[in-house]
Amino acid sequence: MAGYVSEAVIRRLPGYYRHLKELEAEGVRQISSQELGERMKLTASQIRQDINCFGGFGRQGYGYSVPELREHIGKILGIDQTHRMVIIGAGNIGRAVALSDSFPANGFQTMALFDTDPKKIGASIGAHQVQDMATIASFLAAHAVDIAVLAVPVAIAQQVVETLTANGVNAIWNFAPVDLKLPAGATAVNVHLEEGLEILSFKMKAKGE
């Protein structure tokens, strides 16, 4: 893989992968940067620049092989391999992640769900039974886990992250609306749902002015 890649390019990669999967399912075998740009609302130049960050996959006068480019981007994203996840919090967000079909289809395997609420512990969500958060350290000692989905209240989010990272889980998908303090070597992607609505509200207001 290339050296430094901007955050903007990284954030566009899942979009490339999704569109290429859709094109492949539609039976499209090759596509030009112009056609892919029109589909993704990007310029052809931007498409070429982004893809060239990871090596030249296209051919002059031919464009890109859809299956080959989809495979390459899947490898860049690391979704050509299985990533094992635990979900912390068995509320609405945790349940939605656990019951989604798209995550296992893309190599993200849920190993277990945990909660502190006695009413939720022992309940079945899909193929899993919610486990007591008090047992998380022993579970992580016995199972290799790559990612933790954090779907807990703000008040306990930092404490939960400290427990997770202390037990070897250094990739956090965070749904708690709080900026986490992470140790060196750990990383998080934040999904703050209310911020998305606030941005949408701003765009609606701006259009009405």
Other CB atoms closer than 10 Å to residue 9's CB: what's the count? 17
* Residue found under tokens 């703000």: 154
CATH number of 7-77: 1.10.10.10
pTM score: 0.82
The C-alpha atoms of residue 69 and residue 29 are separated, in whole angstroms, by 10
Which has the closest alpha carbon to 96: 51, 165, 149?
149
Q: Are 141 and 117 in contact (CB under 8 A)?
A: no
The Cα-based distances of 189 to 3, 51, 54, 178 in angstroms read: 21, 23, 22, 11
- Homologous superfamily of domain range 83-195: NAD(P)-binding Rossmann-like Domain (3.40.50.720)
pLDDT band at 200; cut points 50, 70, 90: confident
For residue 208, is pLDDT > 60?
yes
The C-alpha atoms of residue 109 and residue 84 are separated, in whole angstroms, by 5
pLDDT band at 183; cut points 50, 70, 90: very high
- What residues does CATH 1.10.10.10 cover in the chain? 7-77
Side-chain-side CA neighbours of 30 within 13 Å: the count stands at 10
- The average confidence (pLDDT) of the chain is 91
Instruction: Report the first-to-last Cα separation within the chain, whole angstroms.
Output: 45
pLDDT band at 105; cut points 50, 70, 90: confident
Side-chain-side CA neighbours of 159 within 13 Å: the count stands at 9
- What residues does CATH 3.40.50.720 cover in the chain? 83-195
Three-class DSSP labels, 132-177: EHHHHHHHHHHCCCCEEEECCCHHHHHHHHHHHHHCCCCEEEECCC
DSSP state of 103: H
Q: What is the pLDDT of residues 146-162, one digit of tens each?
A: 999 999 999 999 999 99
